[in-house]
Amino acid sequence: MEFVTLNNGVEMPILGYGVYQVEPGECERCVLDAIEVGYRSIDTAQAYHNEEGVGAAVAKCGVARDQLFLTTKVWISNGGYEKAKASIEESLRKLKSDYIDLMLIHQPFNDYYGTYRAMEEAYREGKLRAIGVSNFYPDRLVDLCQFVEITPAVNQVGTHPFLQQGAAHEIMKKYGVQHESWGPFAEGKKGMFSNPVIQEIGGKYGKSAAQTILRFLIQSDVVVIPKSTHQARMAENFDVFDFSLSEADMEAIRGLDEGTSAFLSHQDPATVEFLTSLH
């Protein structure tokens, strides 16, 4: 496993396992499978409604807690200092842990400054080892960085070969914020897995399209958290540390960047109305 060192010195695996859209009843089994494969970083969120499954797996897996890296996120409806503070305690309870390795603000809406103050407080109390944000576009990230006491350690944004977030990546580097990708495969949209450029490059190394995509992002200094409910696919996604893409291959994949999301835009009013209505 390779690691990145966050801006507060905490080491985070560059490859983790994400449980977005994993059914609560299936989450424990999936996380146990992932840990058995070798994953040590698990990414969940209050809005996924499966923190308890992650916590149950952590309690049963037999791996020491300090060998695992747990990420969760404060949802919009828990925004503001008081609600966020209570939700952090609830996440700790559900995850069956005295601390969370990384807590993020899930979306840049509601009183996220109040949320961040609650996270800074929990960080100082040792309940959170690192704090950061998710889905913060460069303008929102800069604004936050200018006025908080603890610079976010991570910004988790949609990032994949068709949306590489180059400009956002440079802003993150400027402020010492680690770039993390959600949806590294864009859920296979736009023919991601059958893309001829990705397939041809992967073929040269005897690797699948998925492995090639993960390797590209890792070599771009982006943390990745692919999700699968199948252990064989989990193992395939984990097997990306025995090869490196050439600079020519990296450049070829960079050429696939379309600069637009395959999912949604946080600057679209209808999207914002939808997200802020969820609980």
pLDDT digits (tens, 9 = 90+) for 65-91: 999 999 999 999 999 999 999 999 999
Q: What is the pLDDT of residue 274?
A: 81
Q: What is the pLDDT of residue 247?
A: 98
Give tens-digit pLDDT for 16-62. 999 999 999 999 999 999 999 999 999 999 999 999 999 999 999 99
**CATH number belonging to the domain at 3-276, selected among 3.30.70.1290, 3.40.50.1820, 3.40.50.880, 3.20.20.100:** 3.20.20.100
Q: Distances from the Cα of 69 to the Cαs of 11, 103, 129, 149, in angstroms?
A: 9, 11, 10, 24
Q: What is the pLDDT of residue 150?
A: 98
Q: Check whether 263 has a pLDDT greater than 80.
A: no
Do the beta carbons of residue 104 and residue 133 sit within 8 Å?
Answer: yes
Tell which residue, 224, 226, 217, 222, has the closest CA to residue 250. 217
Give the pLDDT band (50/70/90) at residue 227. very high
**C-alpha span between 130 and 134 (Å, rounded):** 13
Mean pLDDT, the chain, whole residue set: 96
Give the pLDDT band (50/70/90) at residue 268. confident
Report the catalytic residues.
48
HSE, CB side, 13 Å, CA atoms: give it for residue 63: 22
Return the higher-pLDDT residue of 3 and 261: 3
Q: What is the β-pairing status of strands 223-224 and 178-182?
A: parallel
Pure H helices in the chain: 24-37, 51-60, 81-94, 112-124, 138-147, 166-175, 196-205, 209-219, 231-238, 247-254, 269-276
The reply to whether 106 sits in an annotated binding site is yes
Give the pLDDT band (50/70/90) at residue 261. confident
Q: What is the β-pairing status of strands 131-134 and 154-158?
A: parallel
Domain locations in the chain?
3-276
